[in-house]
Amino acid sequence: MTPGPRELLKDAGLRITAPRIAVLDWLAEHPHATADQVADGVRARLGSVSTQAVYDVLHACARTGLLRRIEPAGHPARYETRTGDNHHHLVCRDCGRTEDVDCVHGAAPCLEPLDTAGFAVDEAEVLFWGLCPDCRPSGTCQWC
Amino acid sequence: MTPGPRELLKDAGLRITAPRIAVLDWLAEHPHATADQVADGVRARLGSVSTQAVYDVLHACARTGLLRRIEPAGHPARYETRTGDNHHHLVCRDCGRTEDVDCVHGAAPCLEPLDTAGFAVDEAEVLFWGLCPDCRPSGTCQWC
DNA sequence: ACGCTCTCTGGAGTTAGTCAAGAAAGCGAA
DNA sequence: TTCGCTTTCTTGACTAACTCCAGAGAGCGT
């Protein structure tokens, strides 16, 4: 049994509040949502929540590892509850739709650069760019 | 001998204008610069260039393959003249400093997702996140 | 040298998010 | 179960990094 939002928040040392529970609940059902979408979803459930509160919750949860933040270039940030494993993402260049892809190489960090130039590397992020099925057949397709 | 900006622009079917030459010249000397930095550099050379012109040049050149655009999450986009090969990047979480890394696996596309979920994938982007030598020794370091 | 078309200028507008101050609410201790 | 400290939420102003638009200006093929 996976732990509910209350346990997750408690274990992370965060206070249990209605906005936080609603954000985690909603994101569990709607992975890869933007902050805007999360705000809408949470408001539908709680009535009224400030934008700032949503951003605070998302940041607090991302910081403590309850949520993972994905920021595809040119698109607003997206959040997901699937953390801990080192999976990667497919992103549609057109609509920003994002899907999970399992790690190509097994365990994290999955890839190591040849020369780190003195950087302390802690994560290898892999994004696969393309067009999703919905955007692909349109006339704007530049790959066919 | 590598071709100069004029030849590159001509071959790409773009008009040869002072802002374009200046942008390409300046970027060749300062890889991984932001649009802001490019604008400053170009203005230092030409006197006065509109922000819009800089963005237009960067977009036109990125579209025709003269420049590559890198957009690390949470940092402004950066541009580089090294295109054609499938190299990747090291990005500092703190200051956004970006460095080249040669492809971990040889030839492009270098990686293939196991399941593309119907996406037409055309690029695998790899970003190595960490802290650069300048940001690393500071007290805010969370990895040591 | 002409004129079509692409490019640049200047200014307003947008998106996605941050900052700050005070009110409200969680939660450990009494 | 109440107190009071601290975190969290609300409201509203603010910012960075772009984008959009209309018109002026400048390449370049003929």
User: What tokens appear for A67 in the block?
Assistant: 């949520």
B30 exposed, middle or buried (CB, 10 Å; 0-12, 13-18, 19+)? middle
B106 near A CB under 8 A: no
Is residue A88 within 8 Å of B124, Cβ to Cβ? Answer: no
DSSP state for residue A3 in the 8-state scheme? P
- How distant is C1' of C12 from CA of A98, in Å? 33
Determine the average pLDDT of the residues in B63-80. 90
State the nearest Cα–Cα gap between A124 and chain B, in angstroms. Answer: 4
Cβ-based contacts of B99 with chain A (< 8 Å): 117, 119
Confidence of residue B29 (pLDDT cuts 50, 70, 90): very high
- How distant is C1' of C28 from CA of A21, in Å? 22
Query: What pLDDT is recorded for position B87?
Result: 82
Is residue B131 within 8 Å of B121, Cβ to Cβ? Answer: no
Confidence of residue B16 (pLDDT cuts 50, 70, 90): very high
Which residues surround strand D, with CB < 7 Å? A 14-15, 17-20, 48-53, 56-57, 60, 74; B 9-10, 15-18, 34-36, 51-52, 55, 59, 71, 75-77
Q: How far is residue B83's CA from residue B124's CA, in Å, rounded to a whole number?
A: 14
Please indicate whether, in this complex, the C-beta atoms of B143 and A132 are within 8 angstroms of each other.
no
- B49 three-class SS: coil
- A133 three-class SS: coil
Is residue A79 within 8 Å of A38, Cβ to Cβ? Answer: yes
Please indicate whether, in this complex, the C-beta atoms of B119 and A102 are within 8 angstroms of each other.
no
Q: Which of B128, B129, B143 to mutate to test the interface with A (most CBs of A within 10 A)?
A: B128
How many CB atoms neighbour CB B115 within 10 A?
A: 11
Condensed to tens digits (0 to 9), the pLDDT of residues A17-71 reads: 999 999 999 999 999 999 999 999 999 999 889 999 999 999 999 999 899 999 8
Above 90 in pLDDT, residue A2?
Answer: no
Lowest mean pLDDT among A85-99, B46-60, B125-139: B125-139
Q: Which nucleotide is nearest to A50 (CA to C1')?
A: D10
Cβ-based contacts of A128 with chain B (< 8 Å): 111, 113, 116, 119, 121, 123-125
Of residues B25 and A93, the one with the higher pLDDT is B25
Q: How much is the mean pLDDT over chain B?
A: 83
A82 near B CB under 8 A: no
Q: What is the pTM of this model?
A: 0.81
Condensed to tens digits (0 to 9), the pLDDT of residues A87-128 reads: 888 888 888 888 888 765 544 444 566 667 778 887 788 888
Q: Which domains does chain A have, with CATH numbers?
A: 5-70 (1.10.10.10), 85-144 (3.30.1490.190)
Above 90 in pLDDT, residue B134?
Answer: no
Cβ-based contacts of B98 with chain A (< 8 Å): none
